[in-house]
């Protein structure tokens, strides 16, 4: 039977580091990190995610400011709020909850976030720095993938890594982070030929396509390390892109959903805010 990769355990170690950082600042009577999260409208997923972010942040001693705007507001009002937070020296990180309501041009609004506070790595400048190999902040979900792999004491150098999915949020940036670790990376997608064969050849398979239980035992080999980034609602439960029950006995290591990549994401987001505070002491 394959081994389950416990994202919660890895997250706990990073949370302890954040707590120590915050406690050391308080001992010196310095301000704690502060994150501002902007929610426009009432998207259920965004409300849940914001609540989760607040819960984790406050448990670690990090301040969390919620900025909520009605769906009836206009783009100028959202941008004005972003500009206020850009200029607020007490705020180290700005999170814009996505998706925005359909009437908004997301790219236009995202670009107004200061790259110095873009802890979610959404702006063109942040993404450009990532692909140039000089990131200010690492995007949290892709970084969760790499952090989990490293927690297993796996040397990524030279490994054959297959990334299934080419989104700008996960697929492309996680491929870049793995390239930075000297892996040999193949990106697969809906037009890839011989998909099963390509995936089965991987030392490490990262799946991020948003199709519940898409990957079964025919996509993996007995030595595969499988990282499931998917989170979909399936039969009333949060389910990954990997059919866990079918794959766990046919691979070496596998992340569960929930309890794998997602368990780390918010923690790494907060860690980014701590790093911003270290670099920009006001």
SS3 assignment, position 84: helix
Q: Are residues 160 and 202 in the same domain?
A: yes
Residue 17 maps to a domain: no
Number of domain units in the chain: 2
Query: Does 180 score more than 50 pLDDT?
Result: yes
Q: Are residues 228 and 171 in the same domain?
A: yes
Single residue among 78, 98, 114 that ends a domain in this structure: 114
**Contact of 76 with 95, CB cutoff 8 Å:** no
Q: Which domain CATH number covers 96? A: 3.40.50.10860
Report DSSP state, residue 113: S
Residue 61 maps to a domain: yes
Helix, strand, coil tally for the chain in percent (to 5): 40, 15, 40
- pLDDT (0 to 100) of residue 265: 94
Residue 123 maps to a domain: no
Residue 279 maps to a domain: no
Q: Taking Cα atoms as reference points, which of 205, 270, 274, 271 lies closest to residue 242? A: 205
- pLDDT (0 to 100) of residue 253: 97
SS3 assignment, position 243: coil
Q: Which residues are annotated as a binding site?
A: 165-167, 231
How many other C-beta atoms are found inside a 10 Å radius of the C-beta of residue 122?
Answer: 24
**Contact of 35 with 91, CB cutoff 8 Å:** yes
Please compute the mean of the pLDDT values over residues 27-34 and round it to a whole number. 94
Q: What percent of the chain has pLDDT over 70?
A: 99
Q: Are residues 147 and 253 in the same domain?
A: yes
- Which of 132-136, 178-182, 252-256 is predicted least confidently? 132-136
Residue 19 maps to a domain: no
Query: Does 182 score more than 50 pLDDT?
Result: yes
CA separation (Å) from 16 to 109, 122, 225?
A: 34, 27, 27
List the beta strands (DSSP E) in the chain: 3-4, 34-40, 63-69, 93-96, 160-164, 184-188, 204-207, 225-228, 232-234, 237-239, 253-254
Query: Does 282 score more than 60 pLDDT?
Result: no
Query: Does 77 score more than 50 pLDDT?
Result: yes
Q: Are residues 105 and 147 in the same domain?
A: no
Q: Are residues 202 and 239 in the same domain?
A: yes
SS3 assignment, position 231: coil
- Which residue shows structure tokens 């030929």? 193
Q: Are residues 92 and 154 in the same domain?
A: no
> How many Å apart are CA 240 and CA 38, to the nearest integer?
27
Q: Are residues 65 and 165 in the same domain?
A: no
Q: Are residues 165 and 253 in the same domain?
A: yes
Q: Are residues 239 and 152 in the same domain?
A: yes
Q: Are residues 156 and 49 in the same domain?
A: no
**Contact of 120 with 173, CB cutoff 8 Å:** no
Residue 132 maps to a domain: no
Question: Which domain covers residue 82, as residue numbers?
Answer: 28-114
Q: Are residues 94 and 174 in the same domain?
A: no
Please compute the mean of the pLDDT values over residues 71-84 and round it to a whole number. 96
Q: Which residues are annotated as a binding site for NADP(+)?
A: 165-167, 231
Q: What is the CA radius of gyration of the chain?
A: 19
SS3 assignment, position 115: helix
Q: Between vectors from CA 24 to CA 23 and to CA 27, what angle results, nearest 5°?
A: 85
Query: Does 133 score more than 90 pLDDT?
Result: no
What are 189-224's pLDDT values in tens digits?
999 999 999 999 999 999 999 999 999 999 999 999
Q: Are residues 170 and 91 in the same domain?
A: no
- pLDDT (0 to 100) of residue 281: 62
Report DSSP state, residue 101: P
How does residue 232 score in pLDDT terms, banded at 50, 70 and 90? confident
Query: Does 57 score more than 60 pLDDT?
Result: yes
Sheet holding 93-96, edge to edge: 63-69, 34-40, 93-96
Query: Going by C-beta distance under 8 Å and a sequence separation of 6 or more, which residues neighbour residue 44?
Result: none
Q: Taking Cα atoms as reference points, which of 238, 240, 245 lies closest to residue 217? A: 245
- Torsion angle in degrees (nearest 10) through CA of 16, 21, 24, 28: -160
Residue 12 maps to a domain: no
Q: Which domain CATH number covers 208? A: 3.40.50.720
- Which of 40-54, 80-94, 160-174, 255-269 is predicted least confidently? 40-54
**Contact of 67 with 124, CB cutoff 8 Å:** no
Residue 162 maps to a domain: yes
Query: Does 105 score more than 70 pLDDT?
Result: yes
- pLDDT (0 to 100) of residue 279: 79
What are 140-175's pLDDT values in tens digits?
999 999 999 999 999 999 999 999 999 999 999 999
Residue 51, token pair as written in the block: 């609540």
> How many Å apart are CA 74 and CA 53, to the nearest integer?
25
């Amino acid at each position: 039977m394959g081994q389950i990769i416990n994202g919660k355990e890895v997250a706990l170690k990073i949370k302890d580091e954040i707590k120590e950082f915050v406690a050391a600042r308080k001992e010196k009577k310095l301000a704690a990190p502060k994150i501002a999260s902007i929610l426009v409208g009432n998207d259920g997923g965004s409300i849940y995610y914001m609540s989760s972010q607040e819960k984790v942040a406050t448990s670690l001693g990090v301040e969390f400011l919620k900025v909520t705007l009605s769906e009836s507001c206009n783009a100028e009002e959202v941008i004005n709020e972003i500009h206020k937070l850009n200029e607020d020296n007490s705020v180290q990180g700005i999170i814009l909850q996505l998706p925005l309501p359909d009437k908004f041009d997301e790219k236009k609004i995202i670009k107004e976030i200061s790259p110095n506070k873009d802890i979610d790595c959404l702006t063109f400048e942040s993404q450009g720095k990532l692909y140039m190999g000089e990131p200010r902040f690492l995007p949290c979900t892709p970084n969760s993938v790499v952090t989990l792999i490293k927690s297993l004491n796996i040397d990524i150098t030279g490994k054959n890594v297959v990334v299934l999915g080419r989104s700008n949020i996960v697929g492309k940036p996680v491929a870049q982070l793995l390239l930075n670790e000297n892996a040999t990376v193949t990106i697969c997608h809906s037009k890839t030929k011989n998909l099963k064969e390509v995936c089965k050849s991987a030392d490490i398979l990262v799946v991020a396509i948003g199709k519940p239980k898409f990957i079964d035992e025919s996509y993996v080999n007995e030595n595969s390390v499988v990282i499931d980034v998917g989170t979909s609602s399936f039969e009333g439960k949060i389910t990954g892109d990997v059919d866990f029950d079918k794959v766990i006995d046919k691979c070496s290591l596998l992340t569960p959903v929930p309890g794998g990549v997602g368990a780390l994401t918010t923690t790494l987001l907060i860690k980014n805010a701590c790093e911003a505070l270290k670099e920009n002491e006001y």
